[in-house]
Amino acid sequence: MFIRQLYTGCLSEAAYYIESDGIAAIIDPLRDIEEYLTLAHERNAQIKYIFETHFHADFVSGHLDLAAATGATIVYGPKTVTSYPVHVAKDSEIFSIGKLTVEVLHTPGHTLESSCYLLKDESGKNHAVFTGDTLFVGDVGRPDLAQKENEITMDDLAGMMYDSLQHKLIPLEDEVIVYPAHGAGSSCGKNLGSETFSTIGEQKQTNYALQPQTKEAFIQSVTEGLAAPPLYFPINAKINKEGYESLDALLEKGMQALPVAAFKAKAAADNVIILDTRVSKIFTQGFVPGSISIGLDGRFAEWAGSLLPFDKTLLLVTEPGKERETIIRLARVGFDKIEGYLDGSYPAWLASGEPIDLIIDVEADELAMDMPFDTKILVVDVRKLPEYADGHIKDAVNIPLDSLTDPGSMAGFDDTQNIYVHCAGGYRSVIASSLIKREGFHNIRNVTGGWNQIKELSDKFEIEKDVEVLN
């Protein structure tokens, strides 16, 4: 028996490779399938099954491309309806992988078709359960993503989740390994733990959702405190349900090196966005005017999916050699209108004599010195509301980054203000600064180090907390 967790940090996503006697299965593959093909080739194995735990909302799965490349059967759980051929498994159906077997456990709650896959070893003993978004380390999947289906409500799904846990997962032996689809940072749950695997026994002891409680108490505990899901979630779920263009086709379109003149001509169209994926501290020093910065060095795909429209053409400015990686990571969350990148990156644009733009970086102590004397300062804090509530500069305006593209979010700005933007560490504030610049506000200063640096200088700032929000 061979099991490998294939974890992608920027999406907090775990896919799995299972193998026995030269037969392999992949669980919840990402759209870029090369890693799975390479691993199977290295181990001289044939990929026979692709098990999907549900229609993922936070990334586009690689099931279609992987099936086309290997001939493997795509397996979903009961109640699945797709626009392409799959094997819709019955509850308790058994699949063989060499000397191993996999049992389907239908566990609706996160979505209606959500299913876990119980792996049994050569002797038939329960060894591990691949729980998808049903059970995480320290949490369970949010029950609000599929509530529009058949007029089902969030509470209905939470009730189904309770039954799924009580009847399918809690009865498993304590030593059964839990392999979830996500780890900390994922928006598919409220507060996932830092570990990427656990055991049934550990989760019975530590996971709030597995503690003895009534169904009513469970429903309340899993539904309260849910932040709004990222806007791209329903788009990705629809793509996974209906199908998509192959990644190779997307790469062929996107990997077009555009000289400055051609890039400029394409960028002039109304439906085009220039996305700059260079490291944020490099972006602020100079960029193509109108560019949106989302650096590859952070949770790139998640922020791209949350902030960029899917119906517009993307042109890329990347660090040289990062073009392919950028396209793949965008494709993971469903972007398919990528039509080239700036050949030679920003240095080529600069050398051509074309206009440039920049964002002034300042440190927190400079902001502290300016605030008493500059009546036109506007401090914009783009952290999430709970972060802001736990401590912020007095009179700072909180506009969480994921809401900065909402209509009216910048209604309180004017170009006479000196706008200082900060987040926790500096990544989100550069994205925000580029979005604000794009709307025509140019007196922007990015506070490097963000709140982490500001709180170290708390004697120089008036700090407030929002106790009501925290409670």
Average pLDDT along the chain: 95
CB atoms within 10 A of CB 401: 20
pLDDT for 471: 61
CB-based contact 183:192 (threshold 8 Å) = yes
CB atoms within 10 A of CB 50: 26
Greater pLDDT, 149 or 193: 193
Residue 259 half-sphere exposure toward CB, CA atoms < 13 A: 2
Signed CA dihedral, 42, 68, 28, 275: sign only: positive
Tokens of 387: 């972060």
Q: Which tens digits make up the pLDDT trace of 278-313?
A: 999 999 999 999 999 999 999 999 999 999 999 999
Confidence band (pLDDT; 50, 70, 90) for 413? very high
* pLDDT surpasses 60 at 465: yes
Q: What's the CA gap between 6 and 179, in Å, rounded? A: 11
What does each C-alpha distance from 359 to 209, 300, 376, 404 come to in angstroms?
45, 20, 18, 18
Tokens of 180: 């979830």
Residue ranges, CATH 3.40.250.10, the chain:
245-351, 360-470
- CA angle, 156 as apex, 152 and 157 as ends, to 5°? 90
CB atoms within 10 A of CB 175: 13
Confidence band (pLDDT; 50, 70, 90) for 458? confident
Q: Which tens digits make up the pLDDT trace of 24-44?
A: 999 999 999 999 999 999 999
pLDDT for 470: 64
Confidence band (pLDDT; 50, 70, 90) for 375? confident
Q: What's the CA gap between 343 and 50, in Å, rounded? A: 38
Confidence band (pLDDT; 50, 70, 90) for 146? confident
* pLDDT surpasses 60 at 147: no
pLDDT for 148: 63
CB-based contact 306:347 (threshold 8 Å) = no
* pLDDT surpasses 60 at 315: yes
Q: What's the CA gap between 25 and 47, in Å, rounded? A: 5
Q: Which tens digits make up the pLDDT trace of 61-103?
A: 999 999 999 999 999 999 999 999 999 999 999 999 999 999 9
Q: Look up the CATH superfamily of 360-470.
A: Rhodanese-like domain (3.40.250.10)
Q: What's the CA gap between 98 and 201, in Å, rounded? A: 28
β-bridge partners, 422:
381
- CA angle, 433 as apex, 269 and 466 as ends, to 5°? 135
pLDDT for 70: 98
Q: Which tens digits make up the pLDDT trace of 237-258?
A: 999 999 999 999 999 999 999 9
Q: What's the CA gap between 144 and 157, in Å, rounded? A: 7
Q: Which tens digits make up the pLDDT trace of 148-187?
A: 656 789 999 999 999 999 999 999 999 999 999 999 989 9
β-bridge partners, 315:
274
Q: What's the CA gap between 323 and 313, in Å, rounded? A: 16
CATH class label, 2-235: alpha beta
pLDDT for 150: 64
Model confidence, pTM = 0.93
pLDDT for 223: 94
CB atoms within 10 A of CB 405: 17
Q: What's the CA gap between 403 and 385, in Å, rounded? A: 11
Nearest of 70, 73, 126, 134 to residue 101 by alpha carbon: 126
pLDDT for 447: 97
pLDDT for 149: 58
pLDDT for 303: 96
Tokens of 390: 């736990």
CB-based contact 106:88 (threshold 8 Å) = no
Task: Indicate the DSSP class of residue 170.
Answer: T
Nearest of 177, 173, 147 to residue 160 by alpha carbon: 147
pLDDT for 468: 74
Provide CATH code, domain 245-351. Answer: 3.40.250.10
Sheet with 313-317, strands from edge to edge, namely 257-258, 338-342, 313-317, 272-276, 292-293
| 3-state SS assignment for residue 301 | helix
Q: What's the CA gap between 102 and 116, in Å, rounded? A: 10
